[in-house]
Amino acid sequence: MHWFILIVAGLFEVAFASCLGKAKETTGVEVYWWYAGFLLSLSISMLLLIKATENLPIGTAYAVWTGIGAVGTVLMGIFLFKDPASFWRIFFIITLIGSILGLKLVSH
């Protein structure tokens, strides 16, 4: 259950990073809605990370949390923000996913 909570926390990390990206692209009142989404997603992500680390090693949990956030944010950038999807970006995303899975496998 704690791994599931950690994965959801990582997805909310993707959400808060994406809200920051959208806030940079907007103007007027809309920018405040994106910043509100950022603050809400950030709060939920942190609370879930705290909950997950009750039974998971902090080093492993933090590495997995940031890894999910990094991979998810890069993929959101590619699919939603039209960031480039070069060979090396995809290669390193795959190696990062492998590292996240490896940490999960070696953790008790």
- Domains of the chain, by residue range, sit at 2-106
Number of H helices, E strands in the chain: 4, 0
Given this model, what pLDDT does residue 78 score?
A: 92
pLDDT in tens, 44-101: 999 999 999 999 999 889 999 999 999 999 999 999 888 999 999 999 999 999 998 8
pTM: 0.85
DSSP-derived 3-state class of residue 35? helix
71 vs 4: CA distance, rounded Å: 17
Task: Measure the CA–CA gap between 61 and 51, rounded to whole angstroms.
Answer: 11
Rounded-to-integer distance, Cα 77 and Cα 22, Å: 10
Nearest to residue 74, comparing CAs of 60, 85, 61?
85
Q: What pLDDT is attached to residue 71? A: 94
- Of 14, 19, 45, the C-alpha closest to 34 is 19
pLDDT at residue number 82: 87
Measured CA to CA, the distance from residue 15 to residue 18 in angstroms comes to 5
Query: What's the confidence (pLDDT) of residue 100?
Result: 86
pLDDT of residue 86: 93
User: Which of helix, strand or coil describes residue 43?
Assistant: helix
Name the band, by pLDDT with cuts 50, 70 and 90, for residue 31.
very high
